[in-house]
């Protein structure tokens, strides 16, 4: 037998599938856990770490969604104060996940108010937050319900086209990406 014809021992060819990690893809362990989570009944209760894994977001993103609103419904016992354990029902996670279903990146951007589909969109009045000093803060349609409540206590809504809004003074805290910075003379 020549060296080329000799086969490597079977033990040298065996690979532990759990040890394979391809950058950008979930590990085998995550895939198996996602499969198990997907099979859970709607009544199942999950802790935030598992809810985040199921939704494919970080735990920090899930915590931000709880804080700002816009995320899945969750439960937190009234007793226990601020640090009471948070939990999610699988049914609520599935409903929230389905609610974000879009058919294209353009549709996703439009649903978040991040793009315009025509030039008419630039001329159509839209709601913006404005301070008593007359400075614009941000588009009113962006943000969560809790942020809406916070802002409505100190700011008022004005209806302006994007073209008009670009010519208005903006607060120092938020300068939208579409506004050109003033040229220094």
pLDDT, tens only, 54-92: 998 899 999 988 888 888 999 988 876 677 789 999 999
Same domain, 83 and 49: yes
128 in any annotated domain:
yes
pTM score, whole prediction: 0.50
Q: Could you tell me if residue 14 is inside a domain?
A: no
CATH number of the domain encompassing residue 62: 1.10.10
Q: Average pLDDT, stretch 132-149? A: 78
Quick check: is 140 in a domain? yes
Chain centroid to Cα 45, Å, comes to: 22
Distances (CA, A) of 25 to 17, 28, 31, 53, 140: 14, 9, 9, 13, 36
Poorest-pLDDT segment among 4-13, 17-26, 107-116 = 4-13
Structure tokens at 89: 């029902």
Give the structural domain span for 56: 26-102
* CB-based contact 145:70 (threshold 8 Å): yes
Has residue 113 been placed in a domain?
no
For the chain, what is the domain count?
A: 2
Question: How many C-beta neighbours within 10 Å does residue 174 have?
Answer: 14
Are 161 and 124 spatial neighbours (Cβ–Cβ below 8 Å)? yes
| 143: pLDDT strictly greater than 80 | no
Q: Judge if 91 and 143 occupy the same domain.
A: no
């Amino acid at each position: 037998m020549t060296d080329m014809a000799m086969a490597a021992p079977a033990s040298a060819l065996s690979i532990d599938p759990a040890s394979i990690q391809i950058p950008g893809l979930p590990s085998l362990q995550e895939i198996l856990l996602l499969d198990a989570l997907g099979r859970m009944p709607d009544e199942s209760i999950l802790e935030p770490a598992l809810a985040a894994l199921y939704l494919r977001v970080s735990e920090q993103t899930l915590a931000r969604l709880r804080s700002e609103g816009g995320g899945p419904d969750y439960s937190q016992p009234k007793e226990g104060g601020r640090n009471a354990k948070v939990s999610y029902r699988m049914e609520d996670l599935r409903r929230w996940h389905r609610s974000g279903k879009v058919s294209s990146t353009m549709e996703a951007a439009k649903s978040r108010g991040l793009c315009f589909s025509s030039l008419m969109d630039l001329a159509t009045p839209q709601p913006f937050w404005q301070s008593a000093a007359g400075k614009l803060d941000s588009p009113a349609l962006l943000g969560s319900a809790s942020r809406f409540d916070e802002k409505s206590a100190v700011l008022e809504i004005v209806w302006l086209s994007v073209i008009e809004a670009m010519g208005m003074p903006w607060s120092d805290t938020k300068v939208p990406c579409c506004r050109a910075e003033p040229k220094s003379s």
